[in-house]
């Protein structure tokens, strides 16, 4: 527990102040879980730290037995949750070693973690090699389960295909003109795969649209003067981007004075997490996604009210996508642990018992129903929402208006079909209303 507090304390004083978990009295009475998120670097402020704060809040509530039904049993099946928090910053090679340390040195029972797509691709084979449960709570690339099969690895959130298919569907439904478009995405797995999905989906619903500027700056570039000049010069109807974290904040701050948002319709596949720090610097009318039905686009359910209101009270701001994604992973692991314990007589489940319980499972989350339908029961699908930005001067925050919700089957490929093949095949069997 002291390690968890000390690690988050490196961020800011406020992020460590509220940590007060009950210490374990024996290994059998605890479930030790690694939590990996960005605690430093450009992805920390708007993504990694909110995820860490959500884990802090949710684990604290569960350890007190203060979660709403069906999550009202203490911890995981009566076992107190003991978190070990690791900073994801530092690159894939570092994360491979950190994951080994979590399993072999810290003896965690499972790991919930990873935001960067490159990190997820690197660590998944290590968990499989060690035969230890790994629950990827984020990362966007579809390649995790399309290029390999895993027994001990799960992703408890949908991949980037839903972000881009849903975005194109929203644009079409709202009659957004797109005779021409330009794109700016980070030059690594997330950006490359997001770009490919958006361009392929555009070819289905906007078959005559022409791609103008097509830019792939490196991850963490920070400065986008050259790229913004190219986008302004292109004068496209739409500028699409999957930038996130500090890169997205920098891009918005640098592009607004250049008038990009007035010249072109900005459409951002994963942008809700930068709304709180940007405030009135975010232009009105930007079309955004949140990688799910999260934050200001989340459903009005008792489970979401518990999470949304509790997080906001604890941290002074509302939760965004990374907060929701780590929470749905924690709740999914809780459900699987308790499902396994119901079958083994109430004992702490083995790795294989936990894997069997999670495979093909489903559970309710603050953002809606999570279903492990793809990747042979190891890859989640979920609902997603899109909207437009509108600054609220009275509340001093960006509100989201014109919200449209899409069911999971509408924006995710069916089981056994690669995402890009499904899109290029016309996105059939999508069950859209």
pLDDT digits (tens, 9 = 90+) for 282-294: 999 999 999 999 9
Q: Is the pLDDT of residue 26 over 50?
A: no
Strands 368-374 and 362-365: antiparallel
For residues 241 and 269, the answer to whether their CB atoms sit within 8 Å is yes
C-alpha span between 116 and 120 (Å, rounded): 6
Residues 240, 365: Cα–Cα separation, whole Å: 29
Say whether pLDDT at 24 is over 50.
no
pLDDT band at 430 (very low <50, low <70, confident <90, very high): low
CA–CA dist 231, 277 (Å, integer): 24
* Full DSSP string of 43-86: TIIIIIHHHHHHHHHHHHHHHTT-SPTTS-SSTBTTBEEEEEEE
Name residues whose C-beta falls within 8 Å of residue 346's C-beta, 6 or more positions apart in sequence. Answer: 77
pLDDT tens track for 173-198: 999 999 999 999 999 989 999 999 99
Quick one: pLDDT at residue 428?
Answer: 85
Q: Which two tokens stand for residue 99?
A: 């994951």
- Does 12 score more than 70 pLDDT? no
Domains of the chain: 29-158+297-379 (3.40.50.2300), 159-296+382-423 (3.40.50.2300)
| Residue 83 contacts residue 57 (beta carbons within 8 Å) | no
Q: What's the pLDDT at 40?
A: 95
Q: Report the share of the chain in percent with pLDDT over 70.
A: 93
Query: Over the chain, what is the mean pLDDT?
Result: 93
Mean pLDDT of 340-346: 97
Supply the angle between the helices 321-344 and 302-315 in degrees, to the nearest 10. Answer: 120
Per-residue confidence at 28, pLDDT binned at 50, 70, 90? low
Nearest CA to 329 out of 373, 377, 363 is that of 363
**Residue 433 vs residue 299, higher pLDDT:** 299
pLDDT band at 49 (very low <50, low <70, confident <90, very high): very high
């Amino acid at each position: 527990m002291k390690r968890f507090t000390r690690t988050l304390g490196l961020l800011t004083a406020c992020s460590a102040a509220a940590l007060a978990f009950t210490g374990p009295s024996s290994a059998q009475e605890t479930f030790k879980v690694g939590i990996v998120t960005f605690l430093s670097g450009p992805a920390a402020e708007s993504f990694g730290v909110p995820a860490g704060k959500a884990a802090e809040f949710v684990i604290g509530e569960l350890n007190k037995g203060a979660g709403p039904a069906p999550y009202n049993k203490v911890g995981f099946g009566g076992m107190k949750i003991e978190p070990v928090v690791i900073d994801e910053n530092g690159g894939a090679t570092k994360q491979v070693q950190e994951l080994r340390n979590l399993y072999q040195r810290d003896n965690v029972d499972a790991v919930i973690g990873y935001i960067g797509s490159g990190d997820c691709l690197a660590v998944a084979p290590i968990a499989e090699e060690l035969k230890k449960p790994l629950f990827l709570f984020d990362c966007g690339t579809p390649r995790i389960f399309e290029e390999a099969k895993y027994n001990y690895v799960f992703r408890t959130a949908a991949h980037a295909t839903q972000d881009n298919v849903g975005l194109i569907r929203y644009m079409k439904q709202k009659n957004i003109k797109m005779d021409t478009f330009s794109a700016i995405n980070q030059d690594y797995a997330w950006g490359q795969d997001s770009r490919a999905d958006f361009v392929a989906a555009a070819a289905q619903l906007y078959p005559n649209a022409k791609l103008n500027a097509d830019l792939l700056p490196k991850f963490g570039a920070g400065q986008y003067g050259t790229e913004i000049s190219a986008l302004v010069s292109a004068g496209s109807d739409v500028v699409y981007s999957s930038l996130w974290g500090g890169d997205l904040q920098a891009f918005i701050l640098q592009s607004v004075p250049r008038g990009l948002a007035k010249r072109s319709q900005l459409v951002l596949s994963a942008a809700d997490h930068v709304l709180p720090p940007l405030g009135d610097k975010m232009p009105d009318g930007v079309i955004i996604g949140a990688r799910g039905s999260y934050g200001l686009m989340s459903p009005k359910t008792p489970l979401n009210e518990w999470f949304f209101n509790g997080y906001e009270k604890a941290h002074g701001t509302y939760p965004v996508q990374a907060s929701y994604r780590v929470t749905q992973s924690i709740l999914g692991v809780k459900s699987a642990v308790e499902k396994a314990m119901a079958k083994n007589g109430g004992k702490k489940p083995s790795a294989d018992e936990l894997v069997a319980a999670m495979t093909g499972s489903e559970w309710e989350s603050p953002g809606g129903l999570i279903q492990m339908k793809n990747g042979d029961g190891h890859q989640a699908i979920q609902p997603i929402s899109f909207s437009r930005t509108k600054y609220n001067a009275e509340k001093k925050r960006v509100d989201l208006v014109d919200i449209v919700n899409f069911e999971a089957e509408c924006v995710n490929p069916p089981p056994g079909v690669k995402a890009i093949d499904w899109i290029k095949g016309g996105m059939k069997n999508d069950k859209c209303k």
